[in-house]
Chains A and B, each alone.
Chain A
């Protein structure tokens, strides 16, 4: 009789929580929440022969140099990185039809050059600002043309906007200054 009573007893499930917590903590420690975001870049194709000489009107070229001291030289003048985006936007759109800025957004070319000693952080910031300038121009143009945000447009409409203001970013081979020994 006593034996039967014991069999009928419930199994204590109190420790189940402990086991589950243990597993939970194990997963919390060994895993990383996926936070893989970044600046997407398309590198140019590699070719052994030097790129073809191209006659470019200097007014269409926006040259950005970043030196080993992480200073910016934009079209021959020192610039703060905070002003880079807005100045780039003005250069591409050229709302006042200035003589020394891009003839048309389709003709604008951005050129970056850095030293081998340039800090990666600065380089990425510069790249990011230039990309931001284009993104903002696209967003503004989407508002003007279609009255909608850029991401609400269809793919064809987005392409139309991007073709009107194409992102042309050329990167020159870095110069050998300031390399870490």
Chain B
């Protein structure tokens, strides 16, 4: 009996937790570097389709985002269930696209303005009518580089 008690007492040395903050801070810095702040709240539901021929968007500053989808439950009452365009943080119409593009252009250095890419984040369920209108607006505004946002899948056999 006495033997057991003695053994238990020996193993009770406290583990130093002093290095724990360092580890957690390391994780924290990793995430701070790897991720980007969610700058715009999505007001439309977007589930992008899958595609195999994907190109990565390299320079975030050269990209502007156009969202098209049905309003989320929160905005359904006000904006209905028809697909809507979201530019920045508000619902917009096709006519607002040129101004939106011009505004984004001012944040880009002069020499890089022709490499600006529009990333279209469009929901699976949207019909091509509204997408076609946006495409026409982009062409009229001279924004010809477009990236249809999609999820990765394997190529079909």
Contacts and interface: CB of A to CB of B under 8 A. Distances in A.
Given A120-B128, A180-B129, A27 B31 contact: yes
B56 A27 contact: no
A79 to B, nearest CB: 13
A178 B126 CA distance: 12
Contacts of A36: 56-57, 60, 63, 119, 147, 149
Interface string B114-153: 0001011011111111011001101110111111111110
A132 B50 CA distance: 13
Interface-centre pick from B28, B83, B149, B155 (highest chain A CB count, 10 A): B28
B150 A120 contact: no
Residues of B contacting A: mostly: mixed
A40 B122 contact: no
Residue of A16, A45, A178 with highest tally of chain B CB at under 10 A: A16
A49 B17 CA distance: 74
A38 B146 CA distance: 9
Nearest to A42: B144
B107 to A, nearest CB: 17
B29 to A, nearest CB: 10
A103 B2 CA distance: 96
A114 B126 CA distance: 14
Interface in B91-106: none
A132 B156 contact: yes
A52 interface: no
Interface in A79-100: 82, 85
A41 interface: yes
7 contacts: A17-B24, A37-B151, A40-B147, A46-B140, A121-B125, A124-B148, A132-B53
Interface of A: 13-14, 16-17, 19-21, 23-24, 27-28, 30-34, 36-46, 68, 82, 85, 114-121, 123-125, 127-129, 131-132, 135-136, 173-174, 178-180
Interface of B: 17-18, 20-21, 24-25, 27-28, 31-32, 34-38, 48-49, 51-57, 60, 63, 82-83, 117, 119-120, 122-129, 131-132, 135-136, 138-140, 142-152, 155-156
